């Protein structure tokens, strides 16, 4: 999972977290050969690791990843 964090991009791989001084757009471009999906303004996931996408009663989407992590994002 890639997340924007001010002037950095936080890359989470399993339990490890890496920070790179970059923009999310630049990181997304560098990973264009990978099956990635931008799920919000500040988050990109590799679709190979998406286990389930469901909708909450509040209208948000809950994205469950193959690692023990979940991402909540709004539609639209």
Q: For position 58, what pLDDT does the model report? A: 76
Number of domains in the chain: 1
Q: For position 66, what pLDDT does the model report? A: 59
- Measured between alpha carbons, how far is 30 from 32 in angstroms, rounded to an integer? 6
Beta carbons within 8 Å of 32's beta carbon, 6+ residues apart: none
Q: For position 63, what pLDDT does the model report? A: 57
pLDDT, mean of residues 35-62: 77
Q: For position 47, what pLDDT does the model report? A: 79
Q: Could you list the residue range(s) of the whole structural domain that residue 32 is in?
A: 2-74
């Amino acid at each position: 999972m890639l997340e924007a964090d001010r002037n950095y991009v936080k890359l989470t791989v399993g339990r490890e977290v890496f920070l790179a001084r970059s923009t999310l757009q630049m990181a997304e471009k560098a990973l264009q050969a990978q099956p990635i999906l931008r799920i919000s303004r500040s988050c990109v996931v590799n679709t190979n690791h998406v286990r389930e996408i469901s909708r909450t009663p509040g209208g948000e989407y809950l994205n469950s990843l193959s690692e023990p992590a979940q991402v909540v994002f709004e539609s639209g």
